[in-house]
Structure 1
Amino acid sequence: MLAKDTIETVNLDKNIIKVSDYIIIQRQNYKKLHQLKKRDCVRLGKRFMFIELDNIISEEYNSIFKLESKGKNNYYLTKVENATNIQLPDARECGDDNRDILDDGKSQKLSTKEISELQEQAVGAQNIIGKIVSNSSTFAAKTEFSQEKYVKKKEKKYYEYVQILKPSIVHLMEIYYRLSPIKVLGLRIDDLSQILYYSNVHCNGNYLIYESGTSGVPVAAMLERIGNYTSGKLIHVHPGNEPQSQAIRAMQFSEDLMTKRYVNVNIYSVLRHYYQNFKFSTNKRKMDETDNGETPSKKIKTDEENVQNLDQIEPLKPNGGGVDKDKKWIQDNEQGCQILDEKVDALVIIAKEHPAPILDAFIDFVNLSRPIVVFSDCIQILTDVYMHLKKSKKVTYLRLSNTFMRNIQVLPGRSHPDVNRNFGGYMLFGYTVNDNKSDL
């Protein structure tokens, strides 16, 4: 009984909004990721709405709050049970068509100053939109559909409710993709789901992902799949001093997952550490353990042979230049080398760089009959990688694909695909095989 009560308390605590938590503020279809602080204020939307967030602390996630005016464009939040939408009267005058309506900018009798005064008086969105509609000389002449569209447009501008959501992979993908598809390499939520599917991420495997240019969303998705208190591990390889980790921080993973299941390493640093230090010491230890002193049957590849595509770039050095064994980057390299030595169950590459040298550097660390997934926003790059892997004979069942996705508006009498189509990226996947005929 005590253990059950403890679990319920922990789950309840996770559902409470606390200072330093990452939250998602949603106002209709607009979402914004924000890290909560004491006496915090956030700017929301294009109208430069400044909202105080003190009242949301210690409340539950998914709670709805109403915007209360404190003056021009300044608001504070009060908790409410439900949000109310703008309702038009059922019996109202409508026109047959809009052909005689002239948009000359003179149909609205209320001035911008008068509308701003209504907002400062906090009369409510329903009353503001009602006054705008009653003072419009052309509203009654519009068709029923045009009237609904007009009211929805005004409701979007004067909507007075926000909802505080807990970050999730779906929410993060929507936010990043809406901000700029280029900044996430065109990676959509359906592309991410396919990457997780083809790489077969689960709780008991070791995985390696090279990621740059997607704010860490694919890494966070793989960590979520691995989960807490499992035997799975993830190596996050990146090209710089520090990885792009905003999405990982926003997911607020547990300490067990971040310290025991996840390690991030620089690509040049971990490869040189493996071939120059880790592999040499490991093989020396194996040779010392043999009774007859015979060397292993397989020859050890030299550092020059294995990192020939990367040796033109100098490895990143720790701050201060000296080698300090207590530094975290050395510990991360050692932990990453241990996982590489055990070999991984999938290799995922999502990069702005050309993936061929990265594949050559890490493909030998993948177990046989395991998936390799490469994502890029350019099909020509993946075509080159396809031919490169075909010649290497290390990967079979190679497939190059692109998913067509288009949102569809479903409304009575006016269902149609959206005019703008979201262009995603391209995906190359296959399975590793043994290319050494002597081992068969």
Structure 2
Amino acid sequence: MVYSKHISPVMCDPEKGDTVKVGDYIVIQRQSYMKLLRVKQNGSVMLGKDQLKLDAIVNRPFFTTYKMEPRKPSKRDFILTECDSAVSLAEQLSESLSGGIDNRNISDDGNSQLLSTEDIVGMRDSGMAGHEIVGQLIENSKTFKNKTEYSQVKYLKKKEKKYFEYITVRRPTMRLVSEILYRQDPSKILGIRMDTLAQLTTAAGITTQGTYILYESGCLGLVAASLLNCLDEGGSLIHAVPGNLPQRQAINSMNFNESQLSRLISVNIYSLLRKLLQDGDSGPGQAETSDGKYSDSEENILDNTNCCVTDENGPVKSDTNSDTKETGSVSEIENMVVDEETSKKRKHPEEEESSAKKARWEVETQRAADLLKAHPVDGLVVVAKEDPANILTTLLKFVAISRPFVVYSLIREPLMDLYVQLKCRSDVTALRLTESWLRTHQILPNRTHPDILTSGGGGYLLSGTVVDGAFLSLNER
């Protein structure tokens, strides 16, 4: 299969502007450390133990470099002053130093530094510049001049991380957002690294004007943001989630404009399937069985999603009985939804759901149902922390012929079972189960080598293509 190469429209959107506005998300970079935050009026941010005032970055261009100037007499409190470029302490101090031949006569006895901890803290609290503090550390070190050139540069870079005085304000991109979320807590995004996210987007065959279904749970909207970042005018993304409130942290971080957000349709998967079956037309593939009841996979997915429906105050368990699970008729499903709404009102009698919010859910669900009824979608992506088998088999019937699907899981066993299950079907082909693996390298003169610390794995992808099962069965005969 040939995948189209395209340029993301979000990166070159003229409506976004090139300056930082209040309410925008930005990435503050201090050497290799990056932090994602939202700009507020008269806001500040903590970088380690240093507090930075962000007034100076408002209405200034992205990729501007600022120097941290101490606010006297405050301690570890800085304002930002715009400058042309950052000055590296290692490059600034190493030019006037000469190294030794080797380190064989250097012993780490803990007494090589003449300055005490109180002296160093006092210099920093007094507002002394970072390069001046590092210069004092070098002058008062007994062994620094005897170290080799490589050892000296390594020492300076280690101190530079602590006393670096420059930051750069960057515009959020998918790579930066993915790396920041992964560094903060990989479990919150199901261990999806940037390389895995790129493979997933490629395997889904995303085009700028296509229509796609994404089932996502437990990854802060990272995959939804990646797919939405690829869509242009005419494209649509049906973002199906197990609860009423989708996770949108990564989507909000990308600063999408209103035109781009209009292509995203976030719906509860249970409400969407109920809407399709209630109307008596499930669209391409006929999601309803001949006797008007759910298939086994649809019954299982609806039961699973009912157990994790959420509202603004947390999880809300649906009060379903065994008869509903056995029959699964449309009338019983409607009664279950009424019971859910009644339980929410009993739990919060003082808070009544506004008609505008309720209408929005209905409009979004109806809009997604109309898209699925009009024509099959161009691809399906499933990223779930639960078993993806029932989810995939339920949504697979809405995918057009010769269009791809891809399933992500942090562990291998559910995808292996799903692979065996799909091999028995005649409507899918080109099944492929792959593992994502990445190792970064240090690239420096005369000392290039793989990084010692690296992630153990980036999850697993099961991809395939939907075909005409009747045609394939006829050829096999």
Q: TM-score, with normalisation over the residues of structure 1?
A: 0.87
Residues in 2 aligned to 1:311 and 1:188: alpha-carbon distance in whole angstroms: 30
Residues in 1 aligned to 2:160 and 2:449: alpha-carbon distance in whole angstroms: 23
1:263 corresponding residue in structure 2: 265
Residues in 1 aligned to 2:432 and 2:403: alpha-carbon distance in whole angstroms: 14
Of the structure 1 ranges 369-378 and 10-19, higher mean CA displacement relative to structure 2 is found in 10-19
Q: What CA RMSD, in Å, does the superposition of the two structures yield over aligned residues?
A: 2.5
Residues in 2 aligned to 1:258 and 1:34: alpha-carbon distance in whole angstroms: 20
Q: From 197, 222, 230, give the equivalent of 1:192.
A: 197
Residues in 2 aligned to 1:434 and 1:52: alpha-carbon distance in whole angstroms: 60
Of the structure 1 ranges 391-400 and 318-327, higher mean CA displacement relative to structure 2 is found in 318-327
Q: 1:28-427 alignment to 2 at 5 Å?
A: 28-45=31-48, 48-70=49-71, 71-86=74-89, 87-90=92-95, 92-227=97-232, 230-259=233-262, 261-277=263-279, 279=281, 302-305=292-295, 307-313=298-304, 314=306, 316=309, 317=340, 320=345, 327-341=359-373, 342-422=375-455, 423-427=457-461
Secondary structure of residue in 2 paired with 1:202? coil
Amino acid at match of 2:412: I
In structure 2, relative to structure 1, the CA distance for the partners of 1:248 and 1:91 (3 Å cut) is closer
Offset of residue 198 of structure 1: 1.4
Offset of residue 130 of structure 1: 0.7
Q: Is the 8 A contact 1:278 1:337 kept in 2?
A: no
Residues in 2 aligned to 1:303 and 1:37: alpha-carbon distance in whole angstroms: 52
Residues in 1 aligned to 2:429 and 2:423: alpha-carbon distance in whole angstroms: 8
Of the structure 1 ranges 97-106 and 202-211, higher mean CA displacement relative to structure 2 is found in 97-106
Residues in 1 aligned to 2:236 and 2:302: alpha-carbon distance in whole angstroms: 28
Q: From 11, 17, 22, give the equivalent of 1:19.
A: 22
Of the structure 1 ranges 144-153 and 106-115, higher mean CA displacement relative to structure 2 is found in 106-115
Amino acid at match of 1:307: E
Q: Is the 8 A contact 1:204 1:231 kept in 2?
A: yes
Deviation string 1:138-169 (CA, Å, 9 cap, x unpaired) is: 11122211111000000010000111111110
Residues in 2 aligned to 1:268 and 1:12: alpha-carbon distance in whole angstroms: 36
Residues in 2 aligned to 1:361 and 1:158: alpha-carbon distance in whole angstroms: 55
Offset of residue 439 of structure 1: 9.6
In structure 2, relative to structure 1, the CA distance for the partners of 1:102 and 1:358 (3 Å cut) is same
Residues in 2 aligned to 1:90 and 1:429: alpha-carbon distance in whole angstroms: 53
Q: Is the 8 A contact 2:41 2:55 kept in 1?
A: yes
Residues in 2 aligned to 1:418 and 1:20: alpha-carbon distance in whole angstroms: 37
In structure 2, relative to structure 1, the CA distance for the partners of 1:29 and 1:91 (3 Å cut) is closer
Amino acid at match of 1:346: G
Residues in 2 aligned to 1:218 and 1:148: alpha-carbon distance in whole angstroms: 40
Amino acid at match of 1:310: I
Amino acid at match of 1:425: G
In structure 2, relative to structure 1, the CA distance for the partners of 1:89 and 1:164 (3 Å cut) is closer
In structure 2, relative to structure 1, the CA distance for the partners of 1:157 and 1:390 (3 Å cut) is same
Residues in 2 aligned to 1:76 and 1:91: alpha-carbon distance in whole angstroms: 30
Offset of residue 248 of structure 1: 0.5
2:328 corresponding residue in structure 1: none
Secondary structure of residue in 1 paired with 2:28? strand
2:6 corresponding residue in structure 1: none
Q: Is the 8 A contact 2:215 2:384 kept in 1?
A: yes
Deviation string 1:324-350 (CA, Å, 9 cap, x unpaired) is: 685211111111111222221100011
Sequence identity, in percent? Answer: 38
Task: Could you tell me which runs of 5 or more consecutive residues in structure 1 were left unpaired when the two chains were aligned.
Answer: 1-9, 284-295
Offset of residue 213 of structure 1: 2.1
In structure 2, relative to structure 1, the CA distance for the partners of 1:301 and 1:200 (3 Å cut) is farther
In structure 2, relative to structure 1, the CA distance for the partners of 1:173 and 1:159 (3 Å cut) is same
Residues in 1 aligned to 2:39 and 2:221: alpha-carbon distance in whole angstroms: 20
Residues in 1 aligned to 2:99 and 2:31: alpha-carbon distance in whole angstroms: 27
Q: Is the 8 A contact 2:16 2:257 kept in 1?
A: no
Of the structure 1 ranges 301-310 and 72-81, higher mean CA displacement relative to structure 2 is found in 301-310
Amino acid at match of 1:62: F
Offset of residue 120 of structure 1: 3.0
Secondary structure of residue in 1 paired with 2:14? helix
Secondary structure of residue in 1 paired with 2:56? helix
Residues in 2 aligned to 1:416 and 1:134: alpha-carbon distance in whole angstroms: 32
Residues in 2 aligned to 1:81 and 1:420: alpha-carbon distance in whole angstroms: 34
In structure 2, relative to structure 1, the CA distance for the partners of 1:401 and 1:154 (3 Å cut) is same
Amino acid at match of 1:337: A
In structure 2, relative to structure 1, the CA distance for the partners of 1:205 and 1:278 (3 Å cut) is farther
In structure 2, relative to structure 1, the CA distance for the partners of 1:89 and 1:232 (3 Å cut) is closer
Amino acid at match of 1:50: Q
Secondary structure of residue in 2 paired with 1:11? coil
Q: How many residues align?
A: 412
Secondary structure of residue in 2 paired with 1:140? helix
Amino acid at match of 2:222: V
In structure 2, relative to structure 1, the CA distance for the partners of 1:136 and 1:262 (3 Å cut) is same
